Structure 1
Amino acid sequence: MDDLVVLLDDDGNEIGTAPKNSVHGADTSLHLAFSCYVFNERGEVLITRRALTKKTWPGVWTNSFCGHPAPAETLTDAVHRRAEFELGLDLSSIDLALPLFRYRATDSSGIVENEVCPVYLARAVGDPLPNPDEVMEYTWTDPEALRQSVLTSPFAFSPWMVLQMRQLETFRA
């Protein structure tokens, strides 16, 4: 069974649900998502390279992980769920960094992302054990070095990560 995503109107109000695979296309409906940046005990941030089998932006470097909350699921519960599913990680803390982040982007295949996508900063418990269907590789890196790389070479990263880096004033957990 396909996961459901929460559809939103232009003001960010819930207006229904739809199967995830039906909303990611050339005319993607506005829907609710989230992004998360995970930090370790050394203060490094985890970035991931999306699996080549991903429908959008395959093989692109991006934030630690993203996802969509299920209907009636809180965003923090969804963040915990996706951290475990994508990265095999438990999170010890989650903080909301960009509550109103919203973007629309089109990948090279013509698939559009159109999301209200709050951004979270979290702390990891242990090291990741990535799901190969989601993540092809990962690295821990210095947050400021990452910010500089994203801002000077935006073509190497997901479009939502580039926009988020421009808006995140504090980039550490």
Structure 2
Amino acid sequence: MAGPVPLDHVVLVDDDGRPLGVAPRGTVHGTDTPLHLAFSCYLFRSDGRVLLTRRALGKRTWPGVWTNSFCGHPRLGEAVPEALARHAAHELGLTVHDVRVVLPDFRYRAVDAAGVVENELCPVLVALTDDEPAPDPAEVMDLRWVDPEELGRLVVLAPWALSPWAVEQVHAMAELDDDTDDAAAGVHAQELVG
């Protein structure tokens, strides 16, 4: 990993999650995207509702598609909780607390309609917020707080309306035992997919 590290970059990893180097974030997603680190977060508020966001039309992958609360890429040497806080502030203008990892080894590869590939080692986290979102329009074009059961029904009835990673993640979370860390965030995984 010699040479200067670009400020906005992703960490490239091998199949075991070991860092191989970095690449500028703006150039890494294409038709042959290398495996890199990311994270996905499902954000809850005190009434138990989860935040869904619709990706801005200017996003390189899956523009205009509904997805989990927010995603991001940790930078080299940055812990996932730090990256999560940075992205929550940037994308949604809010702070988070009670962060829990629910799917530490989640990995997916998907190709969008334009042929752009996502290829990520992407731990899934849940967190709480006491703030109302103030989304960055370059990142989020719409948002909605929903009951976890509504999200589960959407995944089952209209998976095409969501990002492929959100569909896979909700199914994976639904397979968790009720005593996993997600219960601390005020939701039982079994409620996500009936």
Q: Which has the higher mean CA deviation after the structures are superposed, 163-172 or 133-142?
A: 163-172
Spell out, residue by residue over 1:5-36, the C-alpha distance to the aligned partner (whole angstroms, 9 max, x if none).
10001221111111112210000000000000
Q: Deviation string for 1:119-158 (max 9, x for gaps)?
A: 0000012110000000000000001121121122110000
What are the within-5 Å matches in structure 2 for residues 13-92 of structure 1? 13-92=18-97
Which amino acid is 1:165 matched to? V
- 2:126 is the alignment partner of 1:121: yes
Aligned partner (choices 5, 10, 25) of residue 10 of structure 2: 5
Query: If you compute each CA radius of gyration, which structure gives the higher value, 1 or 2?
Result: 2
Give the partner amino acid of 2:36.
H
Aligned residue pairs total 173
Is the Cα contact below 8 Å between 1:2 and 1:21 reproduced in 2?
Answer: no
- Which consecutive segments of 4 or more residues in structure 1 shift more than 6 A? none
Partner in structure 2 of residue 146 of structure 1: 151
Offset of 1:2 from its aligned partner?
Answer: 5.8
1:131 is matched with which residue? 136
> The residue matched to 2:96 in structure 1 has which SS?
strand
Q: Is the 8 A contact 1:151 1:165 kept in 2?
A: no
Q: Is the 8 A contact 1:2 1:20 kept in 2?
A: no
Gaps of 5+ in 2: 1-5, 186-194
Higher relative CO (CA 8 A, sep ≥ 6), structure 1 or 2? 1
TM-score (norm 1): 0.97
The TM-score normalised by the length of structure 2 is 0.86
Q: Who is 2:112 aligned against?
A: 107
Unaligned 5+ segments in structure 1 are none
Q: Deviations over 1:36-65 (max 9, x none)?
A: 000011100000000000010000000000
Q: Distance in 2 between matches of 1:41 and 1:10?
A: 37
Q: Deviations over 1:82-140 (max 9, x none)?
A: 00000001012200000000000000000000000000000012110000000000000
2:53, 2:70 → 1: CA distance? Answer: 7
